[in-house]
Amino acid sequence: MYNELIDKLEKEHTLSKKEYLTLINNREKCQEYLTQRAFAVRNKVFGNKVYIRGLIEVSNYCKNDCYYCGIRRSNKNIQRYRLSADEILSCCDEGYKLGFRTFVLQGGEDNYYTDDFLYELIKDIKRRYPECAVTLSLGERSYNSYKALKEAGADRYLLRHETANFEHYSRLHPKEMDFFNRLACIENLKALGYQVGVGFMVGSPYQTEEDLADEMLFLMQVKPHMVGIGPFISHKDTPFCDFESGRAELTTFMLSLIRLTLPNVLLPATTALGTIDMDGREKGILAGANVLMPNLSPSFAKKNYLLYDNKICTGDEAAMCIECLKQRIKKTGCEITVSRGDYKNEL
Ligand code: SAM
Ligand code: FES
């Protein structure tokens, strides 16, 4: 029965909430088959290629106070930093030499990065590397800000919705954070022509299996170009320090459901997955993921951009990281490719 549901999902790219829930609730019984089908679909759409994105953690200042996040404004136990335009450009230089053709600028919501600052920075990156894609992940900004950054040349934007359930959102965030504004931002980004990534944490506090089924319906409705999911991992200096972290098995199960629902979506095997399970990123690729986001940040940034405890690869050089990933990915039968790896509409 479960395998039939999985076959139906592969064929039709959609299930009802009840059907998704049946699979999620009975995941031990069908994970193996689901993984096989998701890997096959991934290979049919993308061959054995894995895209790499160079992640640059531009700032750990944040005006928000998300209960789960290690760089929330109330955490007084971290050393705050922000990278200058020159520092960001030298990360891009290093990344370019290592074969990266996408740079992801990610950070807390830091007012230091005004539209003017980012406009000039994006223009500079594009001038130096016209063949590279620029992805931003800088949180909620106004329509006009997203518009200006798109005009500067930004190609993609990652803004995880965190949860598709309003009630759940309000348990993960303080009152001043507005679920509907986040959704409006996602709509604005789509309307402006960005390739848009959404996403959520697996196993975040108070999340139910029904919420996970709702996540699938949300993704079908939004049809994002990218979906970033990873396990919630607790951080010792947050209000959620005592909550259990999410599980690798459930994360890879969700990755596979996403691959069958949105066959051509760009789907990272995240660092959080590699943190919760030593072989998590390989397992993610085998479950249908096709993107990796190694860290290009300078070492002082890596050491202080700690969203959760025990984050991996915080001491490694980017060159070492990419070598390590190449070896890991080889074991899955896939290989890392030097290309922008844009979203393609056609299957
Ligand atoms: N400020 C930007 C934003 O809000 O989209 C980007 C940076 S934010 C730190 C990036 C993502 O990290 C969040 O969307 C969240 O899903 C994830 N994250 C934060 N804390 C985490 C935790 N404790 N465990 C796993 N993921 C976490
Ligand atoms: Fe702002 Fe996490 S609270 S990035």
Q: What is the pLDDT of residues 19-29, one digit of tens each?
A: 999 999 999 99
Find the DSSP H helices in 207-333: 209-222, 248-261, 271-276, 280-286, 299-304, 318-330
Q: Angle formed by the axes of helices 85-97 and 115-128, to 10°?
A: 30
Q: In the chain, what percentage of residues exceed pLDDT 70?
A: 99
Q: Which residues pair with 106 in a beta bridge?
A: 57, 137
Among 190-204, 273-287, 329-343, which is the least confidently predicted range? 329-343
Ligand 2 centroid to residue 62 C-alpha, Å: 6
What percent of the chain is predicted at pLDDT more than 90?
Answer: 95
Write down the pLDDT at residue 317.
84
The pair phi, psi for residue 295, each rounded to 5°, is: -90, 125
Res 344: pLDDT: 80
Backbone φ, ψ for residue 255 (5° rounding)? -55, -45
Tell me the DSSP string of 16-54: -HHHHHHHHHTHHHHHHHHHHHHHHHHHHHHTTEEEE-E
Q: Can you give the pLDDT at residue 346?
A: 64
301 Cα to the center of ligand 1, angstroms: 16
pLDDT digits (tens, 9 = 90+) for 231-271: 999 999 999 999 999 999 999 999 999 999 999 999 999 99
- The pLDDT confidence band at residue 187, using thresholds 50, 70 and 90, is very high
Given this model, what pLDDT does residue 345 score? 77
Ligand 1 contacts CB of residue 108 (under 6 A): yes
Question: Quick check: 338 pLDDT over 90?
Answer: no
The DSSP string of 246-278 is: PPHHHHHHHHHHHHHHSTT-B-B--HHHHHHST
Contacts of 221 (CB under 8 A, 6+ apart): none
The model's pTM: 0.97
* CA nearest neighbour of 163 among 305, 66, 267: 66
Q: Which atom of ligand 2 is nearest to the CA of 70?
A: 2
- CB-based pocket (< 6 A), ligand 2: 62, 64, 66, 69, 71-72, 108-109
Between the CA of 298 and the centroid of ligand 1 the distance, in Å, is 19
Answer yes or no: is the C-beta of 276 below 6 A from any ligand 1 atom.
no
Mean pLDDT score of the chain: 96
Q: What residue type is 254 in one-letter code?
A: M
pLDDT digits (tens, 9 = 90+) for 119-155: 999 999 999 999 999 999 999 999 999 999 999 999 9
CA 238 to ligand 1 center in whole angstroms: 13
> Cα(34)–Cα(253) distance, rounded to whole angstroms?
8
Residue 295 is given by DSSP the state B
pLDDT in tens, 296-313: 999 999 999 999 999 998
Ligand nearest to the CA of 80: 2
For the cut 70, the answer to whether the pLDDT of residue 4 exceeds it is: yes
Instruction: Please write the tens of the pLDDT for every residue from 77-114.
Output: 999 999 999 999 999 999 999 999 999 999 999 999 99
Q: Tell which wins on pLDDT, 322 or 42.
A: 42
Atom of ligand 2 nearest to the CA of 60: 4
What pLDDT is stored for residue 347 in this prediction? 58
User: CA angle, corner 11, sides to 7 and 14, nearest 5?
Assistant: 95
β-pairing, 54-59 vs 102-107, is parallel
